[in-house]
């Protein structure tokens, strides 16, 4: 189809443009036509000169759209052909919320009435313009602001005299411009209605979901509210499908870890555990593993709480406590569906662990997560749940622990000479450093003054080698397992992080922050 349109464009003598981001109006984000018209017609003005306006169009036969635009602008048009995908991306750039828009809206509206149910349409576009209730505009501006800054969560925190907003960016909570205290009730109500919560119930915690669009991107939100002494506290978890990087090559594993992990996920049976705290990227690792082993001859079924990202070619089940569908009950039914690979969102109790182990022993590959600080502690945790040691040694293929460390902003990265105390904390000698220097970020507009931009994964992979199996049968003590794992030269999280530090990708304080639980063992 694209080739047909390109051929038509050549017949019309339209110039062919593969990329339009360099045109002045796109660079300066000028908006001289309504967003709804630009999006519907996939047409966008690019440059204005004395001779007229250069416009990008995706359908050379849509002469009506060109005529409407000519009448609207009252100027001659010079069409150029570009694919619809490229034009839509440029439209999103041009109509993206301007920096500081949320702050302006918060200051412009000192008070506001709550939005009515009739005003809210699930899946509406955040970029749509037009007359809107002030509360709707403030909530939209806040959500857009968070998305544009790459936030994973929005925290709305009521205080005695203030209503604070914080975004979690690259794992750290950063304070942002806050709306007036008097808008607290209206904003909270608006979000609760969007998430289909009970707006009359303010005494009990509630959970909900929101589905919105930003141009061509669909973005889901998990919403949680809890009552506090100064009103309801709201947290929105942003599930931006456009930001997830699926693929084991993309998540930051070093070559040795990647080779071992790939070998595990292609095993016909057994259990692979991914451990780490909330927000450490476990779900992305699970989905990346699943995406690699999906093919027509394999039946992959997942049970999650909730399903965060939908993948083609697999069956995904949501846990639902309201109808007594938990991990254990769901797993029993999944085993009747003739699966080859089972992904469990999290092993939380003995019953789920026992069913997972039995599934692995009867010819299934099981991948799941567990909340522990490092890889050896996962086996200790399962033993504490009451799982027999011989079952652990015979069913588990390996455990991978992971963290996400913030990367130094490339725009404000500078070198500095670390102190002797800092080097001692990191277990480094000055001779190990390049020119005796380490790096940090000064803070700039690109990283919102934080000195960090983006994150990189660090991984501690512990395959179930023979000595580790023997130690598990003898005792699943975490410290004893660490010593045995050390004999196989398995790099700890701290050592992996220190390697990134020596490459100049992150800072010593960041490594100590995310690996502090295992720091003593690593040194």
pLDDT tens digits for range 1-52:
566 778 888 888 888 888 888 888 887 777 778 777 788 888 888 888 888 8
Q: What residues form DSSP beta bridges with 212?
A: 219
- CA 158, 159, 164, 169 dihedral sign is negative
C-alpha distances in Å from residue 177, one per residue of 41, 146, 165, 205 = 35, 11, 7, 26
Which tokens go with 189? 């109500």
pLDDT at 117: 40
Q: Where do we find the tokens 């309801």?
A: 232
Coil vs helix vs strand at 176: strand
Residue 102: pLDDT band (50, 70, 90) is: low
Comparing 418 with 171, the larger pLDDT belongs to 418
pLDDT at 118: 39
- Going by C-alpha positions, the residue among 348, 364, 354, 401 that lies closest to residue 270 is 364
DSSP-assigned letters across all residues of 120-146: --TT-BTT--S---HHHHHHHHHHHHH
Which pLDDT tens digit goes with each residue over 433-455? 988 899 999 988 888 788 998 89
- Going by C-alpha positions, the residue among 238, 205, 280 that lies closest to residue 513 is 280
Contact 404, 459 (CB under 8 A): no
pLDDT at 499: 92
Contact 399, 492 (CB under 8 A): no
Which pLDDT tens digit goes with each residue over 174-195? 888 788 888 899 899 989 988 8
Distance CA 95, CA 88 (A): 11
Contact 441, 448 (CB under 8 A): no
> Looking at the predicted structure, is the pLDDT value of residue 412 above 90?
yes
Mean pLDDT of the chain: 85
């Amino acid at each position: 189809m694209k080739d047909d349109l390109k051929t038509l464009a050549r017949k019309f003598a339209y110039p062919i443009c593969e990329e339009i981001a360099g045109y002045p109006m796109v660079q300066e984000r000028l908006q001289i036509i309504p967003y709804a018209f630009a999006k519907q017609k996939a047409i966008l003005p690019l440059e204005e000169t004395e001779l007229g306006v250069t416009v990008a169009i995706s359908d050379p036969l849509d002469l009506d759209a060109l005529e409407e635009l000519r009448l609207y602008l009252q100027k001659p048009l010079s069409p150029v052909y570009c694919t619809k995908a490229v034009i839509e991306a440029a439209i999103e750039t041009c109509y993206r919320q301007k920096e500081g828009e949320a702050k302006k809206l918060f200051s412009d509206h000192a008070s506001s009435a709550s939005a009515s149910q009739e005003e809210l349409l699930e899946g509406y576009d955040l970029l749509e313009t037009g007359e809107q209730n002030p509360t709707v505009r403030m909530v939209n501006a806040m959500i857009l602001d968070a998305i544009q800054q790459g936030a994973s969560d929005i925290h709305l925190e009521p205080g005695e005299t203030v209503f604070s907003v914080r975004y979690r960016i690259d794992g750290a909570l950063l304070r942002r411009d806050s709306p007036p205290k008097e808008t607290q009730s209206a904003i909270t109500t608006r979000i609760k209605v969007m998430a289909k919560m009970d707006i009359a119930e303010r005494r009990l915690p509630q959970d909900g979901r929101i589905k919105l669009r930003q141009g061509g991107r669909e973005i889901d939100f998990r919403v949680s509210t809890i009552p506090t002494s100064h009103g309801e506290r709201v947290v929105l978890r942003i599930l931006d499908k456009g930001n997830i990087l699926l693929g084991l090559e993309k998540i930051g594993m070093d070559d040795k870890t990647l080779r071992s992990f790939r070998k595990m996920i292609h095993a016909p049976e057994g259990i692979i555990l991914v451990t780490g705290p909330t927000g450490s990227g476990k779900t992305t690792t699970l989905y990346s593993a699943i995406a690699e082993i999906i093919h027509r001859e394999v039946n992959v079924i997942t049970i999650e709480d909730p399903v965060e990202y939908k993948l083609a070619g697999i069956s995904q089940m949501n846990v639902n406590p309201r109808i007594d569908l938990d991990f254990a009950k769901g797993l029993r039914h999944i085993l009747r569906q003739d699966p080859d690979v089972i992904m469990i969102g999290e092993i939380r109790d003995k019953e789920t662990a026992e069913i997972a182990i039995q599934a692995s022993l009867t010819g299934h590959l099981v991948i799941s997560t567990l909340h522990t600080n490092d890889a050896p502690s996962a086996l200790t945790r399962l033993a504490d749940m009451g799982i027999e040691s011989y079952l652990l040694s015979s069913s588990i293929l390996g455990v991978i622990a992971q963290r996400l460390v913030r990367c130094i902003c490339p725009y404000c990265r500078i070198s500095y000479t670390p102190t002797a105390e800092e080097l001692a904390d990191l277990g480094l000698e000055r001779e190990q450093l390049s020119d005796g220097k380490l790096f940090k970020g000064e803070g700039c507009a690109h990283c919102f003054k934080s000195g960090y931009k983006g994150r990189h994964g660090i991984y501690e992979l512990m395959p179930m080698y023979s000595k580790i199996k023997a130690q598990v049968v003898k005792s699943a003590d975490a410290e004893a397992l660490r010593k045995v794992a050390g004999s196989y030269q398995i790099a700890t999280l701290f050592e992996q992080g220190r390697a990134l530090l020596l490459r100049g990708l992150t800072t010593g304080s960041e490594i100590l922050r995310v690996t502090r639980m295992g720091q003593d063992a690593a040194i």
